[in-house]
Amino acid sequence: MRFPIAIEPGDATHAFSVVIPDLPGCFSAGDTLDEAIDNAGEAAELWLETVIAEGGDVPQARSFAEHHANPEFSGWIWAIVMIDPAA
């Protein structure tokens, strides 16, 4: 599975903030861009584990175009996290 992630740029005194829009309430951060992306993958795995354990449904990822059009994420960086569904 792959999920788009939105990354709010950090700077010398602020971490990079990450939101996974298709997984409500799933967020993470990192001191570097690479760390933020790695941490987003871990957050997504934990979010999915919790939802599945509670009998919930795993949402389908929406397209980049749909997310990019959302003004809430204007100026954010976009990336993808890959989640192994077997995990």
pLDDT digits (tens, 9 = 90+) for 18-76: 999 999 999 999 999 999 999 999 999 999 999 999 999 989 999 988 988 999 999 99
Mean pLDDT computed over 14-19: 96
pTM to 2 decimal places: 0.87
Question: Alpha-carbon distance 46 to 62, whole Å?
Answer: 20
Q: Which residues contact 35 (CB under 8 A, 6 or more apart)?
A: 16
Domain 2-82's class? alpha beta
Rounded CA gap, 56 and 49, in Å?
A: 10
CB 64 within 8 A of CB 78: yes
Residue ranges covered by each domain of the chain:
2-82
CB contact at 8 A, 58 and 84: no
Question: What's the confidence (pLDDT) of residue 11?
Answer: 86
